[in-house]
Amino acid sequence: GAVVSQHPSRVICKSGTSVKIECRSLDFQATTMFWYRQFPKQSLMLMATSNEGSKATYEQGVEKDKFLINHASLTLSTLTVTSAHPEDSSFYICSARSPGLDGGARETQYFGPGTRLLVL
């Protein structure tokens, strides 16, 4: 159990276009989802936290108008990179958390397989 999927797994787009990445919890309801960005051979940097039905909380330095996050249901969150530029090329990973999965502790996150974005 506790499977998180992401779609697409890889996307190449032209500079100036927008790209939407989906994150789904397949077998549980995710009250909270997280979006991370990872550069090659580096750690994960948290971009934002989204709770179902409310606005996302963005980390310092992350442009909310650039990276639009929607968490419309308990199983789906989307990240839209608007007007993408080459510097937005990165590996984007989502994760989901549910208190029901670890006895209410809300401690464990389940990660998706990631989406590699290349902006030309």
Per CB under 8 A, residues contacting another protein are: 4, 6, 34, 41-46, 49, 91, 93, 95, 106-114, 116
- In whole angstroms, the minimum distance from the beta carbon of 113 to another protein comes to 4
The tokens describing 55, both together, are: 């606005």
- In whole angstroms, the minimum distance from the beta carbon of 112 to another protein comes to 5
The tokens describing 58, both together, are: 């963005």
- In whole angstroms, the minimum distance from the beta carbon of 104 to another protein comes to 14
Q: Which is nearer to another protein, 11 or 93 (CB)?
A: 93
Q: Which is nearer to another protein, 23 or 84 (CB)?
A: 23
Non-local CB neighbours of 37 within 8 Å, separated by 6+ positions = 44, 45, 47, 90, 91, 92, 93
Burial label for 85, CB within 10 Å (0-12, 13-18, 19+), is exposed
- In whole angstroms, the minimum distance from the beta carbon of 16 to another protein comes to 26
Q: Which is nearer to another protein, 60 or 65 (CB)?
A: 60
Q: Which is nearer to another protein, 100 or 113 (CB)?
A: 113
The region, left, alpha or beta by phi > 0 then psi within -120 to 50, assigned to residue 101 is alpha
Q: Where are the alpha helices (DSSP H) in the chain?
A: none
